[in-house]
Amino acid sequence: MGHKTLQITELYIYPIKSLRPVSLDRALLQREGLRYDRRFMLLKVEAGGGYKNIQVFHFPECALFHQAIDDGHVVVTYRIPEHPLVVPPPPEQYTALRVPLNPAIAGLETVDIKLFSSSTTTYRMGDTYDSWFSACLGYRAILVYIGDNRRSVLAHAPQPEQPQTQSWFSHLTSFVPYYGQQPPKEEASGLVFNEAAPFLLTSKASLRNVSARLPDGQEMDMIKFRPNIVVDEVWEESSGSEDSGGDGDDDTPSILAAWDEDFWAELLVGSSHRLALTANCARCVSINVDYTAGRPASGELGSVLKKLMKDRRVDTGNKWSPIFGRYAFLLPPTNSSSSSGGGGGQEELEADVAVGDEVKVTRRINERDTWAWPK
């Protein structure tokens, strides 16, 4: 005998934003995101001397860069596609670049950036890194590091939690968007190069729904949705039970329906870690990219966005974009008496999670959230 549980099945970080992810078995969740997630970003040097953020929807060639963590560095390699984007391929495309995960910033040139309407100052990593990426991309680009700087959370951060005696009204407003205001410092320290929240959570049940819209033999790859945390239902054998032969869960009712996450407001991961899910993730043409070619995909895989527009434009605040996944923030653990340290400072807020950790939906909403990020 056994039963189904909801579990974390995949964990991803993107040390350099917009490049391919690093898959992890364990990860440390922090206020601003997973450790090492989106601490670096590439900028294209414009003709007038300005910079443009390099993101997958404008620069599908980002998918050709693979990342791995090794001895305090992110190691970046480039996979030359069948039809190269840069002809002839430069020597750099056959080499690996090692970028320190915690570089010294003393003396580095600063660059101001704006991402998702939220600004900060970054540090230019230098010619060694700029030259390698520029050669691989075929145009001038620079690599920047965010260091200890943070971007403001402009909406959808969870409000400070009230005592257990809170009124029904304060409970209902605990996850109200900020409408352009900076959240209290004890609740959110800000963002790195993640766009609207520290974490993005997706469901394999919803991915299966997307894949079902494609012809036989084609499946949608979850990494095109660029999540941090992926959940799915998993069959668990009961303690001491005999082997079911691997198919004992076929007749067991599903506990995870496609798009159920639209209505999740709070999750418990393991025995004490909590996530507040506060907003929907609207999708763009980045999900149509062919990750092996570094170009927009052809055929049915190049029209996934259009397929989702038929029935997934479900957020009235983002009415032209289909929804897949939920933005999330880390909350104090269940054994924490308050969200602040009591001394007026900001206490550390971290959670060590792993693939296989059980996830429970502890709070739901009756209607979907409405997107309210300022333009």
Mean pLDDT, consecutive 10-residue segments, the chain of 375 residues?
92 98 97 97 94 97 98 98 96 98 97 96 98 98 97 90 47 46 51 97 98 96 98 85 52 91 97 96 97 96 97 96 98 67 57 97 96 91
Q: 209-214, long-range: CB within 8 Å, 24+ apart, which pairs?
A: 209/258, 209/259, 210/304, 210/307, 210/308, 210/324, 213/304, 213/307, 214/300, 214/301, 214/304
Please tell me whether residues 194 and 291 are part of one structural domain: yes
Give the residue numbers spanning the domain of 91. 40-145
pLDDT tens track for 297-321: 999 999 999 999 999 999 999 999 9
Q: What is the pLDDT of residue 43?
A: 98
Please tell me whether residues 194 and 315 are part of one structural domain: yes
Please tell me whether residues 199 and 58 are part of one structural domain: no
Residue at a domain's end among 115, 145, 175: 145
Please tell me whether residues 260 and 195 are part of one structural domain: yes
CA distances from 66 to 18, 20, 39, 79, 349 (A): 10, 5, 16, 8, 30
Q: What is the pLDDT of residue 338?
A: 45
Instruction: Kindly state the tokens that stand for 336.
Output: 């924490």
Q: What is the pLDDT of residue 355?
A: 98
| 375 lies in some domain | no
CATH assignment at residue 14? 2.40.33.20
Nearest of 120, 183, 139, 211 to residue 331 by alpha carbon: 183
% the chain with pLDDT above 70: 86
pLDDT tens track for 129-158: 999 999 999 999 999 999 999 999 999 999
| 371 lies in some domain | no
| 372 lies in some domain | no
CA distances from 338 to 184, 186, 291, 341 (A): 14, 10, 44, 7
Please tell me whether residues 306 and 166 are part of one structural domain: yes
> 288: exposed, middle or buried (C-beta count within 10 Å: 0-12, 13-18, 19+)?
buried
Residue at a domain's end among 128, 145, 162: 145
pLDDT tens track for 316-338: 999 999 999 999 999 999 876 54
The structural domain count of the chain equals 2
DSSP 20: P
C-alpha to C-alpha distance for 72 and 100, rounded to whole angstroms: 6
Please tell me whether residues 199 and 314 are part of one structural domain: yes
Please tell me whether residues 120 and 166 are part of one structural domain: no
Please tell me whether residues 221 and 355 are part of one structural domain: yes
pLDDT tens track for 195-218: 999 999 999 999 999 999 999 999
Please tell me whether residues 163 and 261 are part of one structural domain: yes
- Catalogue the E-assigned strands of 116-198: 118-124, 141-145
| 13 lies in some domain | yes
Please tell me whether residues 352 and 228 are part of one structural domain: yes
| 369 lies in some domain | no
| 115 lies in some domain | yes
118-124 β-sheet, strand order: 51-53, 40-45, 141-145, 118-124, 110-115
Residue at a domain's end among 145, 175, 205: 145
| 192 lies in some domain | yes
Please tell me whether residues 328 and 208 are part of one structural domain: yes
Instruction: Kindly state the tokens that stand for 256.
Output: 């995870």
DSSP 302-357: GGHHHHHHTT----GGGTTS-EEEEEEEEE--TT-S-SS-SSSS----EEEEETT-
Please tell me whether residues 322 and 207 are part of one structural domain: yes
| 370 lies in some domain | no
